Structure 1
Amino acid sequence: MSGSKASMRCAGIVTYNPDLKRLRANLEAIVPQVDRVFVCDNGSDNVQDIETLAAAFPAVQLERLGENLGIAAALNCLLQAAERGTFDWIVLLDQDSVASDGMVDALAAHADETTGLVCPFILDRNRMSVEEYRAMDMPATQRLEHAAKGGAITSGSLVQVKAALAVGGFDERFFIDYVDFDFNERLLLAGYEILRVNTTYLLHEKGKSEATWLRVPRSTPAGRQWQPLYKLGYSPIRCYYQARNRIIYWKKYHRHTGSEGLTEIPLLMALSLLVEDRKAAKLGAYLRGIRAGVRAKVQPVGDGKLVRA
């Protein structure tokens, strides 16, 4: 942890009907690494249990939204809490992510005023073991050039509070999915750097990932490799936002990112038809999301130096 109040670091966790055992592990891992932890609850049914758990940690402060306003709104709640507490940096976490020992210090070692966000290597517990991660040959740090393609997710990221607020925080129209990549793009267009520190990791879980019989070539930190294609196990409502938000993202940033985001939609739909359950419901959700995205009125982002939400 840092010394003066102005330079202290905090963490923020978004909760929505969390598994309390996993949330406890999250808190136990992050509390020793920062000066305060803000938990923003998005209308959980078990909010009283969350409050009881938070009270067991003196450094944890619970913020309640009262209803599910989406992850973007909850992330903005956390940014505002960090600003009120005069924290310069905030580590943003999903409720079921667990920081590795020393992760925050490792990220902070690469943070300065020109950096908007520093993220760790994301170790998906359904796809890779810690031993496999440690055996990988990767550069210690990487400067990320794209917001979405190989970009940084929100969870585990050390975010400069001043920079985040300067670009307008998180766009609440997205609700969930592509919230992080939209935010990243605005940081990049505003001139901030995004770095990944591969010497530290975050234990994370993308949906309910499960390997399928299909194998596809992927670009990895260790090079181009044939890897299993994973089904995500997302709900139909998440499929809706996956399609809708990618189209909105493309409408906002196509002058800078080309077709980034759009090309994934047919692949996601094909994956659902091939290996997911509830095929009809998910396909219908994707189609509704496409229609909503096409109909959405979005102002394209130009070449301005400072880009807000």
Structure 2
Amino acid sequence: MNYKICAGIVLYNPEIELLKKNVEVLYKQVEEILLYDNGSDNILKVIEAFSNYENITIKNGIKNKGIAHALNEILEWADSKNYEWVLTMDQDSICSKSIIKEYSEYLNSDKVALICPFVLNNGKVTFEEYKKMNLPKSSEITDPVKCITSACLTNVKITKKLKGFNDSLFIDCVDIDLNCKVLEAGYRIIQVNTTYMIQQMGKGIEIPLFDKLQRITGADIFKRAKVVATYSNMRLYYHSRNSRYIRKTYKQHGRQTSALFIFAYYTYFSIFYPHDRSRIKMWKAMIAGFMDYKIIKKG
């Protein structure tokens, strides 16, 4: 059975050449692509780069209203064109050339809401390591933290039924919020391990000690810790605020949004972030976010 599938990429001051690579991989796999711009300074360069492409629509959002708002715009666009599934992408992520083909086996169930790939993130797992893994063909996702927005094939009808993405979150935990709603409503999230997506989360800094320990022990915790992504203080504010909102809103929110995990995570940042970053300002931002969670409206 053939399904109508499109893709949407959220843009914010994208690196044009990297965005071109992203689009080229998707272009032959889906029927149409929407580039939704969140108020980029280089929007004219984006328009110039893709003006000669058929089946690519560029929508200028003028103002940055956040990733959740942009994803809802993509969702509404897909629905208006009667697409059943939309692949949501970050501007700096690159997916497999056969991702839609690999996903297509899982589209028949009316209970599947989201389909995601194996994620190669910040060099924590290399492509060579991924190919050597003895992974099952697919996995059922029950932890809402384990499925991210980028390269996620989203069932348009189900997602709209669940009121889409929560605009109030702006950025961070937007995908976790949707995943919680999906799982609480009794729908399924499938991870297809036969396909992948390469993602860069922030500027990664390698920690040689953890890299060595991971090689010696093979422990997953060192694999995750050997590269730390560095975020702005504002991004840390949103992460702190939104992760607490997730904890307070959903019973099954996942271990990585628990208070203990988040505290350990921020302590890890404090130790391994660049020395020129003010730890006082970092913690002020995170504490402010922690206190502000009540301003978020339930989506």
TM surpasses 0.5: yes
SS at match of 2:35: strand
* Amino acid aligned to 1:291: M
Aligned partners of 2:123, 2:222: CA distance in 1, in Å?
17
Shift of 1:202: 0.8
Who is 2:15 aligned against? 19
* Range that drifts further, 204-213 or 40-49: 204-213
| SS in structure 2 of the partner of residue 168 of structure 1 | coil
| Partners of 1:248 and 1:296 within 8 A in 2 | no
Greater than 2 Å deviation, 4+ residue runs: 125-129, 213-218, 222-230, 255-260, 262-265, 295-299
Q: Deviations over 1:285-306 (max 9, x none)?
A: 111111212x43666xxxxxxx
Number of residue pairs matched by the alignment: 289
Q: Is 1:265 aligned with 2:262?
A: yes
Counterparts of 1:125-164 in structure 2, within 5 Å, are 125-148=122-145, 151-164=146-159
Structure 1 119/258 Cα, relative in aligned 2: closer, same or farther at 3 Å? closer
Say whether the 8 Å CA contact 1:156–1:202 is kept in structure 2.
Answer: yes
In structure 2, C-alpha distance between the alignment counterparts of 1:234 and 1:57, rounded to whole Å: 34
Change (3 A) 1:290 1:91: same
Helix, strand or coil: the match of 1:138?
coil
Give the TM-score normalised by structure 1.
Answer: 0.87
Aligned counterpart, 1:281: 281
Question: Counterpart amino acid of 1:288?
Answer: A
Deviation sequence 1:169-207 (CA, Å, 0-9, x none): 000111111000000110111111000001100111122
2:183 is aligned with 1:188: yes
d(CA) in 2 for partners of 1:121, 1:134: 11
The Cα shift of 1:212 comes to 1.5
Q: Deviations over 1:225-251 (max 9, x none)?
A: 643433211111110011000111111
Q: Which runs of 5+ in 1 are unaligned?
A: 300-308
Letter in 1 for 2:74: L
Instruction: Classify the secondary structure of the residue corresponding to 2:120.
Output: strand
Partner of 1:304: none
The equivalent of 1:92 in structure 2 is 88
Q: What is the CA–CA distance in structure 2 between the aligned matches of 1:286 and 1:257, rounded to whole Å?
A: 19
Aligned partner of 2:195 in structure 1 is 200
CA distance in 2, matches of 1:224, 1:258: 17
Corresponding letter in the other structure for 1:244? R
Paired residue for 1:28, among 10, 24, 31?
24
1:63 aligned residue (59, 83, 87) = 59
Aligned to 2:5: 9
Unmatched tracts of structure 2, length 5 or more: none
Read off the aligned partner of 2:100 and give its amino acid letter.
Answer: V
Q: 1:297 to 1:157 in 2, by over 3 A?
A: closer
- Is contact 1:51–1:62 with CA below 8 Å preserved after alignment? yes
Mapped to 2, the partners of 1:236 and 1:285 lie a distance apart of 6
Q: By how many angstroms is 1:260 displaced?
A: 5.5
For residues 130 and 110 of structure 1, the distance between their equivalents in structure 2, rounded to whole angstroms, comes to 24
- Give the letter aligned to residue 161 of structure 1: V
- Counterpart of 1:101, as a letter, is K
CA distance in 2 between counterparts of 1:259 and 1:138 reads: 22
Deviation at 1:257, TM superposition (A): 3.7
Contact 1:108 1:158 in 2 (8 A): no
The offset of 1:105, in angstroms, is: 1.3
The structure with the greater share of residues assigned to helix is 2
State the secondary structure of the residue aligned to 1:215: helix
Q: Whole-Å Cα distance in 2 between the matches of residues 213 and 223 of structure 1?
A: 15
